[in-house]
């Protein structure tokens, strides 16, 4: 029986320890088992006591049926318990198995009156967010974290299966890849009383990384295809529902590629592979979101997975926006960044499926992007992937691999000295290459239909908030 685990039993006389998920999926009754978890509900009737037990292994809880004599004062909602008994077929259609308890041991009592997440209530996400240390006991966060874990594993498998090497890019760095000034500086002594050098732990200004891209470019110059997936930091003073100060970014870099099409293909394949895996491995957890959090979403992802993503150029996007019947707070003009309202309109215009926007104005984008050398409307080979409800999900580009182009751009920006090492990469075996970054929380927001990014990460950090 593939996938069926008989649980731990170190010695024949001890009961088998089962996770709730294993107990629910057991193909046949079992005599002596032990299940541990937290009580989700207690219902005491005259002749029988019902408990529901959850241990985080599944959305569904295991029903425990017990004699009322096993009830104790400490057996309340939220308490941690260990139950031993017989696993039997459940008479209820909805559940495969239930546990007939022989003993119930309260491992850790819980004052249910003071516990902020009440037994039967479906609390709004904003309320639950106030309790980052307890909200994982709630169904919504439980489902989210199982989905996050599956999606993470699937992202790693996708890249490993396609010949990419996983690189641990540093969290502490001395460069500002994006040049957007959203850096958290670190390593500066609190009392800057002594000499200038002593105030810098690293002797140079150091920051929390805003992107692992430049380090990946180093590695793509030896391993051809590389990826990283780790925490990323931006000091964006924003309370928006799509920005965090600490988020997870998936980044990939490919050598020997001369076309944005190749980069877009990887983005689309990654997106579709991970989403299909999550849908097949966590159907109940995804359904919870689509039923209660973002109603009307059922079937939306399956439909989207069958379609090719749309590709338009930045110039076409501006024309579409200019011809829109609706007004915008920010007037669309060639040369201006696309605002949230513009992204929303473009996605709607293209049929509410993901849209790649390519070839952005040269002056809007960071120094590393490849010059398209294309006349008065000067552009770079950049791509953003926009998705319904969220807006920008991925950003990528071909990188400027030609030494003279890169050197003159860095000189104009006054950065040539800082990026000598980066220029070296163009001197010693430079190849056409490119890559992209995908915000992991925005990805989860999109597939689950969650309005606020703070509800798709276990411990959200944003301006004026760092709970725990
Ligand atoms: O478009 P960005 O800034 O691209 C880069 O950093 C590139 N260096 C990546 C690369 O080419 N290797 O960021 C990539 C994605 C965005 O599209 C967005 O999804 C996410 O990272 N992102 C954020 N997510 C949450 N909170 C924030 N403050 C974010 N800033 C960017």
pLDDT tier for residue 395 given thresholds of 50, 70 and 90: very high
Ranking 11-20, 51-60, 244-253, 313-322 by mean pLDDT, the lowest is 11-20
DSSP state at residue 290 = I
Protein residue with least CA distance to atom 4, ligand 1: 395
pLDDT in tens, 56-91: 999 999 999 999 999 999 999 999 999 999 999 999
Asked if residue 169 has its Cβ within 6 Å of ligand 1, the reply is: no
pLDDT of residue 300: 86
- The answer on pLDDT for 296 being more than 70 is no
Asked if residue 437 has its Cβ within 6 Å of ligand 1, the reply is: yes
Other CB atoms within 10 A of residue 249 CB: 26
Task: Kindly report the average pLDDT of the chain as a whole number.
Answer: 93
In this prediction, residues 178-187 reach a mean pLDDT of 87
Q: CA 441, CA 454: separation in Å to the nearest integer? A: 9
State in Å: Cα 422 to ligand 1 middle.
21
pLDDT in tens, 190-202: 655 455 555 679 9
State in Å: Cα 309 to ligand 1 middle.
20
pLDDT of residue 122: 81
pLDDT tier for residue 166 given thresholds of 50, 70 and 90: very high
pLDDT of residue 274: 98
- The answer on pLDDT for 2 being more than 50 is no
In this prediction, residues 346-359 reach a mean pLDDT of 96
Q: Could you identify the atom of ligand 1 that is nearest to the CA of residue 390?
A: 19
Which segment, 42-46, 113-117, 169-173, 236-240, is predicted with the most confidence on average? 169-173
Protein residue with least CA distance to atom 20, ligand 1: 439
Contact 453, 244 (CB under 8 A): yes
pLDDT in tens, 142-164: 999 999 999 999 999 999 999 99
**Residue 267: which of 424, 158, 353, 112 has the closest Cα?**
158
Among 249, 267, 386, say which to mutate for ligand 1: greatest number of ligand atoms within 8 Å of CB.
249
Where is pLDDT greater, at 295 or 90?
90
CA distances from residue 212 to 176, 248, 365, 381 in whole angstroms, order as listed? 10, 11, 17, 19
Protein residue with least CA distance to atom 17, ligand 1: 394
State in Å: Cα 249 to ligand 1 middle.
7
Give 338's contacts (C-beta < 8 A, 6+ positions apart). Answer: 314, 317, 346, 357, 384
Among 250, 389, 395, say which to mutate for ligand 1: greatest number of ligand atoms within 8 Å of CB.
395
Asked if residue 387 has its Cβ within 6 Å of ligand 1, the reply is: no
Protein residue with least CA distance to atom 2, ligand 1: 395
| 3-class SS of residue 66 | strand
pLDDT of residue 390: 94
Contact 256, 224 (CB under 8 A): yes
pLDDT tier for residue 177 given thresholds of 50, 70 and 90: confident
- The answer on pLDDT for 1 being more than 50 is no
Asked if residue 74 has its Cβ within 6 Å of ligand 1, the reply is: no
What value, to the nearest 5°, has the Cα angle with vertex 22 and ends 21 and 23? 90
Contact 155, 270 (CB under 8 A): yes
Asked if residue 217 has its Cβ within 6 Å of ligand 1, the reply is: no
pLDDT tier for residue 291 given thresholds of 50, 70 and 90: confident
In 3-state terms the chain splits into helix, strand, coil percentages (rounded to 5) of 30, 25, 45
Give 246's contacts (C-beta < 8 A, 6+ positions apart). Answer: 231, 232, 233, 461
Ranking 55-59, 117-121, 130-134 by mean pLDDT, the lowest is 117-121
**Residue 394: which of 436, 343, 340 has the closest Cα?**
436
pLDDT of residue 155: 98
CATH superfamily, domain 135-455, is: Bira Bifunctional Protein; Domain 2 (3.30.930.10)
Q: Could you identify the atom of ligand 1 that is nearest to the CA of residue 397?
A: 11
Asked if residue 400 has its Cβ within 6 Å of ligand 1, the reply is: no
pLDDT of residue 239: 81
Radius of gyration of the chain (CA): 27
Taking the model in full, what pTM does it have? 0.94
pLDDT tier for residue 238 given thresholds of 50, 70 and 90: confident
pLDDT of residue 142: 94
Among 181, 211, 219, say which to mutate for ligand 1: greatest number of ligand atoms within 8 Å of CB.
211
Q: What is the CATH number of domain 16-108?
A: 2.40.50.140
pLDDT tier for residue 13 given thresholds of 50, 70 and 90: confident
In this prediction, residues 399-423 reach a mean pLDDT of 96
pLDDT of residue 117: 87
Protein residue with least CA distance to atom 11, ligand 1: 436
- The answer on pLDDT for 8 being more than 60 is no
Contact 355, 335 (CB under 8 A): no
CATH 2.40.50.140 in the chain is located at: 16-108
Q: Could you identify the atom of ligand 1 that is nearest to the CA of residue 182?
A: 28
Asked if residue 182 has its Cβ within 6 Å of ligand 1, the reply is: no
pLDDT of residue 188: 78
pLDDT of residue 178: 82
CATH 3.30.930.10 in the chain is located at: 135-455
In this prediction, residues 436-445 reach a mean pLDDT of 98
Ranking 211-215, 235-239, 307-311, 354-358 by mean pLDDT, the lowest is 235-239
pLDDT of residue 21: 96
Contact 129, 135 (CB under 8 A): yes
In this prediction, residues 278-289 reach a mean pLDDT of 95
Contact 282, 444 (CB under 8 A): no
């Amino acid at each position: 029986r593939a996938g069926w685990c008989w649980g731990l039993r170190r010695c024949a006389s001890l009961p088998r320890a089962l996770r709730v998920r294993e107990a629910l999926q057991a193909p046949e009754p079992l005599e002596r088992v032990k299940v541990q978890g937290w009580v989700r509900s207690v219902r005491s009737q005259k002749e029988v006591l019902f408990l529901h037990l959850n241990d985080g292994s599944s959305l569904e809880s295991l029903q425990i049926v017990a004699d009322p004599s096993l009830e104790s004062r400490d057996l309340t909602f939220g308490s941690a318990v260990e139950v031993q008994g017989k696993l039997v077929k459940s008479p209820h259609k909805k559940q495969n198995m239930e546990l007939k308890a022989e003993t119930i041991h309260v491992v850790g009592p819980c004052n249910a009156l003071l516990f902020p997440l009440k037994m039967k209530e479906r609390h709004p996400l904003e309320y639950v967010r106030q309790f980052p240390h307890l909200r994982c006991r709630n169904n919504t966060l439980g489902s989210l974290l199982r989905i996050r874990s599956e999606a993470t594993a699937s992202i790693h498998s996708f890249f490993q299966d396609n010949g990419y090497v996983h690189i641990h890019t540093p969290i502490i760095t001395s460069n500002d890849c994006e040049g957007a000034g959203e850096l958290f500086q670190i390593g500066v002594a609190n009392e800057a009383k002594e000499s200038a050098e002593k105030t810098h732990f690293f002797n140079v200004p150091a920051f929390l990384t805003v992107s692992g891209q430049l380090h990946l470019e180093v590695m793509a110059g030896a391993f051809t295809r590389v990826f990283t997936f780790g925490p990323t930091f931006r000091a964006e003073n924003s309370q928006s529902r799509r920005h965090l100060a600490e988020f997870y970014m998936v980044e990939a870099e490919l050598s020997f590629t001369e076309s944005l099409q190749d980069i877009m293909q990887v983005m689309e394949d990654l997106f579709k592979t991970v989403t299909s895996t999550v849908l097949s491995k966590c159907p109940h957890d995804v359904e919870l979101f689509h039923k209660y959090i973002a109603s009307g979403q059922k079937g939306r992802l399956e439909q989207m997975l069958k379609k090719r993503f749309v590709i338009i150029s930045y110039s076409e996007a501006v024309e579409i926006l200019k011809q829109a019947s609706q007004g915008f707070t920010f007037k669309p003009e060639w040369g201006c960044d696309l605002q949230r309202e513009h992204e929303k309109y473009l996605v709607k215009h293209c049929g509410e499926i993901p849209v790649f926007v390519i070839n952005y104005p040269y002056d809007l984008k960071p120094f590393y992007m490849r010059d398209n050398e294309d006349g008065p409307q000067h552009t770079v080979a950049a791509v953003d992937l926009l998705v319904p409800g969220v807006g920008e999900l991925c950003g990528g580009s071909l990188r400027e691999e030609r030494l003279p182009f890169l050197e003159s751009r860095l000189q104009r920006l006054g950065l040539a000295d800082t990026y000598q090492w980066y220029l070296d990469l163009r001197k010693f075996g430079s190849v056409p290459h490119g890559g992209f970054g995908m915000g992991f929380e925005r990805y989860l927001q999109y597939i689950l239909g969650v309005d606020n990014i703070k509800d798709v990460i276990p411990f959200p950090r944003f301006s004026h908030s760092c709970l725990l």
